[in-house]
Amino acid sequence: MRRPILAANWKMHKTAAEALDFAYAFAPRVDGATHADVVVAPPFTALDRIGRVFAGHGIALAAQNVSPEAEGAFTGEVSARMLVDLGCRYAIVGHSERRTLFGETDALVARKAAALLAAGIRPIVCVGETLEQREAGRTFEVLSAQVEGSLAQVPRERAEDLVLAYEPVWAIGTGRTATPAIAQEAHAFLRTRLVARFAGSAERIRIQYGGSVKPENVYDLMAQADIDGALVGGASLDPVAFARIVRFEAEKGASR
Ligand code: 13P
């Protein structure tokens, strides 16, 4: 049985002061939620301030990016060791926005994941096909290549520290969620790729779904056999909505 993991990806939203308001509103709403790992990835600038609030509530802090380099003359970059210092337990790498807007390749994502693992941070590695690729019948081919390339440097003995996030690009920020059946089909396929890469450990790797997750659809997504969590953008900016997503079991029947 894989432990559910519900994560907020705030992208480039909220000042540190706004993030603190969220933390004070959100933390009491998920106190005692022991059924799942709860993760929040604010912008770098808010990590320190909200990390201090979350520490007392069992909410894990995550970064949205990391440098593949350990240290040195890399203006504007943030290293894995700096994230450890602020209490980060997870970091997102390979988000489709970074792949498409900032030109990140599978090879770079692989180096970032390796830098995180070396520092003791769990990488949340994102993969997902575009609408064009799906309509051309290339979904599995694209996912295969992304998994192979992005996880190339994850040693088998560290596989369980990995979280994979399936984020179909056509469902991100569009309000167009993958149906539970479409998402499950992709997750089951990704699981076969993980088995090929990591053998027995693959059954313990969590695969999150991301793309227009809301309180109204989270239960039906989480009910799928290979959907172990959610990576939530827009709806995670609201502490009430994200707390409902964390307590997804209470949302049963919300979409009907
Ligand atoms: P939305 O939930 O806003 O569609 O964003 C999904 C996402 O990209 C999370 O990383």
Q: Following DSSP, what letter does each residue of 80-149 receive, concatenated?
A: HHHHHHTTEEEEEES-HHHHHHS---HHHHHHHHHHHHHHT-EEEEEE---HHHHHTT-HHHHHHHHHHH
174, 128 contact by CB (below 8 A): no
**Residue nearest ligand 1's atom 7 by CA:** 233
Q: Is the CB of 139 under 6 A from ligand 1?
A: no
The answer to pTM > 0.95 is yes
**Residue nearest ligand 1's atom 5 by CA:** 233
Name the residue of 212, 221, 244, 245 whose CB sits within 8 Å of the most ligand 1 atoms, as the mutation to test its pocket.
212
pLDDT class of 174 with cuts at 50, 70, 90: confident
For the cut 80, the answer to whether the pLDDT of residue 255 exceeds it is no
- CA distances 25 to 14, 86, 237, 238, Å, are 14, 21, 11, 9
Q: Is the CB of 212 under 6 A from ligand 1?
A: yes
Which residues is 232 bridged to in the sheet?
Answer: 8
pLDDT class of 9 with cuts at 50, 70, 90: very high
Three-class DSSP category at 253: coil
pLDDT class of 109 with cuts at 50, 70, 90: very high
Catalytic site residue from 104, 167, 187, 251: 167
Quote the mean pLDDT of the chain: 96
pLDDT of residue 1: 79
Report CA(172)–ligand 1 centroid distance (Å): 5
For the cut 70, the answer to whether the pLDDT of residue 256 exceeds it is no
Report CA(166)–ligand 1 centroid distance (Å): 11
pLDDT class of 34 with cuts at 50, 70, 90: confident
pLDDT of residue 191: 98
Cα–chain-centroid distance for residue 174? 18
Q: Single out the residue of 11, 74, 70, 4 nearest to residue 33, CA to CA.
A: 4
Least confident of 56-60, 71-75, 184-188: 56-60
